[in-house]
Amino acid sequence: MTTTIADYVIVGAGSAGCAIAYRLAEAGKSVLVIEFGGSDIGPLIQMPGALSFPMNMSRYDWGFRSEPEPHLGGRVLATPRGKVLGGSSSINGMVYVRGHAMDYEHWEKSGAAGWSYADVLPYFKRMETWHDGGHGGDPARRGTDGPLHVSRGTRQNPLYQAFVDAGAQAGYQVTDDYNGRQQEGFGPMEQTVYRGQRWSAANAYLKPAKATGRCDVIKGLAEKIEFTDGRATGVRLAGGQLVQARAEVIISASSINSPKLLMHSGIGPGKHLAEHGIEVRADRAGVGQNLQDHLEMYIQMAASQPITLFKYWNLLGKAYVGARWLFTRTGPGATNNFESAAFIRSAAGVQYPDIQYHFLPLAVRYDGQVAAEGHGFQAHVGPMRSASRGTITLRSGDPLDAPKIRFNYMSDPQDWEDFRTCIRLTREIFGQEAFAPFRKNEIQPGADVQTDEELDAAIMEHVESAYHPCGTCKMGAVDDPLSVVDPQTRVIGVEGLRVADSSIFPRITNGNLNGPSIMTGEKASDHILGRSLARSNADYWINPDWATSQR
């Protein structure tokens, strides 16, 4: 049994863990990062246009699946999580969304003191280098010299502009920077892509951290946290190796694996741990609870002109895209091809957006199955703040067993109403004049699907996870029995242990979670180092007519 030692041990080389490793190493601390996955080198990860491959490969993905979902007719949904350097930032869709200012106001109100919009905005600015691509935007609220490069696609395909124009024609706001003052509206989408390459947390943070000579990565599966006199002092790996921490252990293992590791270490719902023969160290009822995700549906249209990405959907086309990317880092392979977006409100009386759109000039599924009609385009749409909550629980006392993942999707009646609204609002947008030169017929769910009952059947069959699980180690007030970590990210009930990743989100944020996850790592690193950035006094935009108008 070998033992290695450093000031800080981080479990998980994902979005938050890489950011923490970089900031601690930069501050002169020695850091060991434990990661079960392997190298992120290779075109399938580094080429943005290849994004559908790594999340379907067991080499890069943990391969988690949900339990049969009772409100989706027993469907089992894929729950990909990155098992590779960079974690899920190495296999995700690279969409960059900070979330809405009101998301963080809610975090603070729910007990995460010091995590309001004014508190987190300086960290979003610190972490990013923003490339506006000549498309305007809101430079006052954006970063100029951070490790994470955020860019915009070329938006050359006319369908990208048609989507924004259709939104304006339908009476919605247009925003030139949803990550700036005004999220609400239609506009360009941002991506973690730099010079045509995926800019994962591994590229942004881990490589520079290792270059300092103070950060190393150890390959292994963390089985449990080791304690001495009630203080976390290290991590036991499968096979027996002990990785010791002089100062603290930080778990950044994902919203699936972080609660699992806590439970195997005796921190979690006491009764559940006892059932699996695990000695209870800290009875924390909230560990593994509060699981949230975004569901989405692809509303697909057949195109009347051959201008979509389908023209590359053959052997020669794919060879051209791959070769062009390999030699010039340009073309359809150099972007995630999500280049237009929207955030809208579902109804009057909703204060800030609760529906998100990703627009894609191709009718295709995440697993790469293209629509039978050939040329087409689609909008991914779904509600942002479902009241449904799920759980992560242990399958057994064996750390090698995958946990039980129950999202409990669509368990709240409002979810069904919200999804029907999403479909109807999308049809209205696709019906605008801007799409007249391009639209043929609706592929999914199909123009004959109209009544509430028909829509519900289509929703049950076709909704997919947007792969944004979070919330399973909720951050909150120390006296809240369901809080797992305090607002400094310290695990309540033990010493020397923190959790920092999307599992600590009190409530899911608007949009994709990679940006907020990295921000969480950035802010946690300052809590660890006993420092903080000055709060921002920047304001944010709320539609003045929100109480009386849907748009």
Helix (H, G, I), strand (E, B) or coil at 406: strand
| DSSP code of residue 202 | I
Residue 229 makes CB contacts below 8 A (sequence gap 6+) with: none
Confidence band, pLDDT 50/70/90 cuts, at residue 362: very high
- Per residue in 516-530, pLDDT (tens digit) is 999 999 999 999 999
Count of domains observed in the chain: 1
Q: Is the peptide bond before 516 cis (omega within 30 degrees of 0)?
A: no
Rg (CA), the chain: 22
Confidence band, pLDDT 50/70/90 cuts, at residue 3: confident
Residue 548: inside a domain: no
Active-site hit among 100, 264, 468, 527: 468
Percent of the chain with pLDDT over 90: 96
Whichever domain contains 240, its CATH number is 3.50.50.60
- Per residue in 4-24, pLDDT (tens digit) is 999 999 999 999 999 999 999
- Per residue in 187-220, pLDDT (tens digit) is 999 999 999 999 999 999 999 999 999 999 999 9
Domain of 249 in residue numbering reads as: 4-529
Residue 544: inside a domain: no
DSSP, residue by residue, 106-123: HHHHTT-TT-SHHHHHHH
First to last CA, the chain: 63
Burial of 183 (0-12, 13-18, 19+ CB in 10 A): buried
Number of CB atoms found within 10 A of residue 238's CB: 13
Query: Strand pairing of 222-228 and 78-79?
Result: unpaired
| Distance from C-alpha of 227 to C-alpha of 59, rounded to nearest angstrom | 32
Q: Is the peptide bond before 332 cis (omega within 30 degrees of 0)?
A: no
Residue 545: inside a domain: no
Q: Is 131 a catalytic residue?
A: no
Residue 542: inside a domain: no
| Residue-level pLDDT at 133 | 67
Residue 540: inside a domain: no
Residue 212: inside a domain: yes
Q: Are 307 and 490 in contact (CB under 8 A)?
A: no
Range in 225-229, 253-257, 364-368 the model is least confident about: 364-368
**Tokens 């001495």 — which residue?**
228
**Tokens 């921490």 — which residue?**
245
| Distance from C-alpha of 322 to C-alpha of 318, rounded to nearest angstrom | 6
| Distance from C-alpha of 494 to C-alpha of 490, rounded to nearest angstrom | 8
Q: How far from chain centre, in Å, is Cα 426?
A: 23
Residue 426, token pair as written in the block: 């999308």
| Residue-level pLDDT at 366 | 67
Work out the average pLDDT over 85-97. Answer: 98
- Per residue in 453-465, pLDDT (tens digit) is 999 999 999 999 9
DSSP, residue by residue, 126-187: HHEEE--TTS---GGGS-BS-SEEEEE----SHHHHHHHHHHHHTT--B-S-TTTT--SEEE
User: Position 487: which residue type?
Assistant: P
Q: 235 - beta bridge partners? A: 225, 243
**CA triple 5-11-17, angle to 5 deg:** 110
Residue 152 makes CB contacts below 8 A (sequence gap 6+) with: 131, 132, 133, 135, 188, 189, 190, 191, 339
Q: Are 78 and 101 in contact (CB under 8 A)?
A: no
| Distance from C-alpha of 199 to C-alpha of 181, rounded to nearest angstrom | 24
| Distance from C-alpha of 77 to C-alpha of 61, rounded to nearest angstrom | 14
* Binding site per annotation, positions for FAD: 84, 92-95
Report pTM: 0.98
| Residue-level pLDDT at 132 | 83
Burial of 480 (0-12, 13-18, 19+ CB in 10 A): middle
pLDDT at 92 over 70: yes
Q: Which H or E element spans position 320? A: helix 315-328
User: Position 319: which residue type?
Assistant: A
Of 49, 17, 52, residue with least CA distance to 36: 17
Q: 357 - beta bridge partners? A: 342, 381
Residue 546: inside a domain: no
Confidence band, pLDDT 50/70/90 cuts, at residue 70: very high
Q: What does the mean pLDDT of the chain come to? A: 97
Residue 549: inside a domain: no
Confidence band, pLDDT 50/70/90 cuts, at residue 371: confident
pLDDT at 369 over 80: no
Work out the average pLDDT over 372-386. Answer: 95
pLDDT at 370 over 90: no
Residue 154, token pair as written in the block: 């070329």
Q: b/e string for 133-172 if b means 16 or more Cβ within 10 A? A: eebebbeebbbeebbbbbbbbbbebebbebbbbbbebbeb
Range in 13-17, 131-135, 371-375 the model is least confident about: 131-135
Burial of 550 (0-12, 13-18, 19+ CB in 10 A): middle
Confidence band, pLDDT 50/70/90 cuts, at residue 137: confident
pLDDT at 358 over 90: yes
Residue 230, token pair as written in the block: 């009630």
